[in-house]
């Protein structure tokens, strides 16, 4: 009797699941990106207008995204938003499809400063969605000096009071920049020298963390930090007195972008979605939520005034000769970076 009952229950469950699959909406869009990349109103607005239901699938790291996309052979997902360097790999693996920009009415709104970059030099596959730079933020009340560049972080007065993001390429790159090298150098000797330089920074490091580093700056746990743009925005909104520094050695920046996987099940819906979020008024809403630099030039003016300064590209940024994207480097160089990074982290704790 029990067996029959459980069988019946299982059957019922299967049926209800099956009915869930065929939603009443006119279509479906599978969006694959990190958590919290869109305000709910934007997703709802899209569904309301087009009748297409948005199925929001998350990944935690870019690498997870590529692994899943590979397993799905470029199917399963309609729109993916990820970081520049991984998109270069996605394109190299043949997992992204070429965009028909004629289908994107608002394509012209994209800020050209973020186009034509290493990961998609001819803009054949991607539409940017937000950009970030690694900046130094410090509390002038806690730090007794003026910080103008990365090199200042080595100052002995900052002992045990600097927080940094947990990204080897960014932090090692900081030392590379101080030594006058490129973020993307493949010269192992230069990477090693950067490692030695970093060793001298260790006594100043109080904290290495990727998530919500701004909290520690706001609570006074640290006096200065190297962080991501979204964190900078959140920190400034909470405490406008904080100082933001675009390091004079040259900033490193990254772009997040949309692409459509090669075997996307609903490519038409994908175009509709990308075009929808390119609309200046929708874009403005997205960037206010996201906290990264707006990559839509027509949306800049629509961003709420108190945030506009934080979300649009600073002018000094455009003509910074040292400005560089952090791109992919040979495995050999990456392994050297890993060694340098692990040694540095241990040195910070010692």
Partner 1 sequence: MKSKVRPQKGWMWLTLLPLYVFTLLFVLGPLVYMVVLSFLTREEVWGVRLDFTLENYANIFEPVYLRTFWESLKLAFLSTGLVVAIGYPFGYFMAKLTARWKKRVTLFLMIPFWTSSLLRLYGWIIIFRAGGIFDRLLMALHITSEPLKLLYTYPAVVVGMVYALLPFMIFSVYSSAEKLDFSLVEAARDLGASPLKAFLTVSLKLTLPGLFSGLVLTFVPSMGLFFIADILGGNKVVLVGSLIQEQLMKARNWPFAAALSIALLLLTTVFLWLSRRLSKESS
Positions in the binding site for partner 1 (CB under 8 A): 61, 63-64, 66, 70, 89, 92-93, 160, 163, 166-168, 205-209, 219-221, 328, 330-331, 334-335, 338-339, 341-343, 345-346, 348-349
Residue with Cβ nearer partner 1 (64 or 316): 64
- Give the integer Cα–Cα distance in Å for 113 and 48: 32
- Chain centroid to CA 52: 26
Q: What six digits make up the tokens of 182?
A: 């490129």
Closest approach, Cβ 200 to partner 1, in A, equals 16
**How far from 202 is each of 69, 161, 176, CA to CA, in Å?**
38, 11, 15
DSSP-assigned beta bridge partners for residue 31: 56, 79
Residue closest to 168 by CA, chosen among 349, 338, 296: 338
- Going by C-alpha positions, the residue among 163, 155, 167 that lies closest to residue 218 is 163
CA R_g for the chain: 22
CB closer to partner 1, 74 vs 250: 74
Q: Distances in Å between the alpha carbon of 212 and those of 29, 222, 225, 274?
A: 30, 13, 11, 28
With beta carbons less than 8 A apart as the criterion, state whether 226 and 208 touch: no
Residue 66 or 311: which CB sits closer to partner 1?
Answer: 66
Q: Which is nearer to partner 1, 157 or 316 (CB)?
A: 157
Q: Angle 168-178/331-349 helices, nearest 10 degrees?
A: 90
**Minimum CB distance to partner 1, residue 343 (Å):** 5
Q: How far is the CB of 289 from partner 1 (least distance, A)?
A: 24
Nearer to partner 1, 221 or 275 (CB): 221
Three-state secondary structure readout of 194-249: HHHHHHHHHHHEEEECCCCHHHHHHCCCCCEEEECHHHHHHHHHHCCCCEEECCCC
Residue (197 or 345) nearer to partner 1, CB: 345
Report the nearest approach of partner 1 to the CB of residue 291 (Å).
22
In terms of CB distance, is 105 or 160 closer to partner 1?
Answer: 160
Reduced 3-state DSSP string for 49-104: HHCEEEEEEECCCHHHHHHHHHHCCCCCCCEEEEEHHHHHHHHHCCCECCCCHHHC
Q: How far is the CB of 286 from partner 1 (least distance, A)?
A: 26
Tokens 């965009």 correspond to 99
Nearest to 147 by CA among 223, 218, 80: 223
As measured in angstroms, the least distance from the Cβ of 160 to partner 1 is 7
Instruction: Kindly state the smallest distance separating residue 327's Cβ from partner 1, in Å.
Output: 11
- Closer residue to partner 1 (CB): 26 or 339: 339
Least CB distance to partner 1 at residue 339 (A): 5
How near is the Cβ of 182 to partner 1 at its closest, in Å?
Answer: 19
Which of residues 62 and 300 has its CB atom nearest to partner 1 in the complex?
A: 62
């Amino acid at each position: 009797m029990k067996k029959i009952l459980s069988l019946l229950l299982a059957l019922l469950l299967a049926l209800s699941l099956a009915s869930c699959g065929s939603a009443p909406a006119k279509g479906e869009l599978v969006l694959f990106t990190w958590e919290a990349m869109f305000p709910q109103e934007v997703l709802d607005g899209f569904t309301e207008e087009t009748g297409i239901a948005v199925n929001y699938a998350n990944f935690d790291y870019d690498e997870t995204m590529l692994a899943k996309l590979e397993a799905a052979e470029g199917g399963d997902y309609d729109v993916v938003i990820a970081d520049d360097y991984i998109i270069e790999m996605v394109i190299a693996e043949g997992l992204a499809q070429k965009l028909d920009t004629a289908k994107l009415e608002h394509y012209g709104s994209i800020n050209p400063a973020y186009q034509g970059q290493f990961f998609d030099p001819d803009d054949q596959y991607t539409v940017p969605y937000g950009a970030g730079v690694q900046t130094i933020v410090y509390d002038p009340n806690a730090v007794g000096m003026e910080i103008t560049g990365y090199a200042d972080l080595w100052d002995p007065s900052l002992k045990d009071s600097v927080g940094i993001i947990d990204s080897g390429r960014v932090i090692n790159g900081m030392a590379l920049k101080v030594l006058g090298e490129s973020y993307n150098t493949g010269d192992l000797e230069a990477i090693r020298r950067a490692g030695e330089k970093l060793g001298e920074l260790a006594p100043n490091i109080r904290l290495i963390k990727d998530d919500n580093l701004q909290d520690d700056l706001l609570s006074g746990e640290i006096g200065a930090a190297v962080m991501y743009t979204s964190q900078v925005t959140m920190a400034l909104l909470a405490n406008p007195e904080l100082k933001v520094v675009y390091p004079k050695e040259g900033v490193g920046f990254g772009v997040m972008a949309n692409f459509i996987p090669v075997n996307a099940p609903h490519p038409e819906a994908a175009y509709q979605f990308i075009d929808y979020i390119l609309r200046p008024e929708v874009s403005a809403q997205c960037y206010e939520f996201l906290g990264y630099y707006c990559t839509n030039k027509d949306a800049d003016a629509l961003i709420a005034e108190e945030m506009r300064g934080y979300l649009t590209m600073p002018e000094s940024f455009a003509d910074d000769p040292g400005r560089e994207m952090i791109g992919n480097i040979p495995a050999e160089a990456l392994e050297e970076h890993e060694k340098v990074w692990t040694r540095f982290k241990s040195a910070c704790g010692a």
